[in-house]
Amino acid sequence: MEHEHHHEGEVIIQASDLSVSRGGTIVLDNINLTIRQGDIVALVGPNGSGKTTLIMAILGLLQPTKGTVEILGHDSKKMKFDGKIGWVSQAAANLPKNIRITVRELVTLGVLSTNSLIPFRRKKKDTQKKVDEALRIVGLQDVADVDIYRLSGGQRQRAVIGRALASNPEILVFDEPLVGVDRASRNSLLKLLDELCHKENKTLLMVSHDLPAIRQSAHRVIYLDLVHDNDCCSGGIHYDGPTDQFPDLVGLAALRGIRNVHEGASPVVTSHGESSPVVIISGGLKEEE
């Protein structure tokens, strides 16, 4: 089977020899990662394995101790976001309750910073069009003028996704976007993300614990984990390959407690075409349905 992440699309994200420390501990150790246009990549791993850290480093929001990240060929630290990247941070939907803002206003924030050079009149019409489109995509037209604090958790999550989509970004970077989203909304969102990637060639990097959702949508899974050596630990990629070869919960359970399966594990092909052992630590993922 030809795996979709081996396609030759334009390189969108390139992390090279990337190491990142947090609070004096190396969280990511020598990460090499290539994400191409149209990829739908799920980033998984136990709590604390560095998923958010990797996202922040990719976005240039955390200073690496070593290595570089390029987005569309530019050093991500020096890059202006300029609407090219739609980012939903972890817990983005936990908006402060004391701020009264409607769904439409929230989504509008996603466009405002990106078109400041366009003359005001055109800008206003243009902004409205983009906001309406984003509201339609996330299915919140009917509550556009409702205060966000009155929405359900799932609706609020869709509102922050709407904000991320409003500038029509090429790259979507979502950190646990499905938390608190009910099943029906989750399915429509996954369908939407799938369409954005397949029809409009957008690129999606999504952190999720939701294995069914990942199996439904991602082409490729990247599994992050910490390796505990004798006296130190460092984190890195322990699986990077097609979604359909990522172990299911039965596979994970069979490996429970086993930290390193160098022997006897079927080698998996990484995105670079090399073989690498699968290393699994239990926990951090949930399989339902």
Ligand X SMILES: Nc1ncnc2c1ncn2[C@@H]1O[C@H](COP(=O)(O)OP(=O)(O)O)[C@@H](O)[C@H]1O
With contacts defined by CB under 5 A, name the span among 14-22, 58-66, 88-96, 157-165 that binds Mg ion.
88-96
By CB under 6 A, tell whether 84 contacts ligand X.
no
Residues 91-110 interacting with ligand X (rule: CB under 6 A): none
By CB under 5 A, tell whether 49 contacts Mg ion.
no
How far is 164 from 237, CA to CA, in rounded Å?
27
When binding is defined by CB under 6 A, the residue of 27, 62, 181, 237 that contacts ligand X is: 27
By CB under 6 A, tell whether 52 contacts ligand X.
yes
With contacts defined by CB under 6 A, name the span among 42-50, 124-132, 152-160, 190-198 that binds ligand X.
42-50
When binding is defined by CB under 6 A, the residue of 9, 48, 83, 153 that contacts ligand X is: 48
By CB under 5 A, tell whether 53 contacts Mg ion.
no
Which residue in the shown chain puts its C-beta closest to ligand X? 23
Bridge partners of 178, per DSSP, are none
By CB under 6 A, tell whether 22 contacts ligand X.
yes
By CB under 6 A, tell whether 277 contacts ligand X.
no
Return residues touching Mg ion (CB under 5 A): 51-52, 90
Return residues touching ligand X (CB under 6 A): 22-23, 27, 45, 47-53
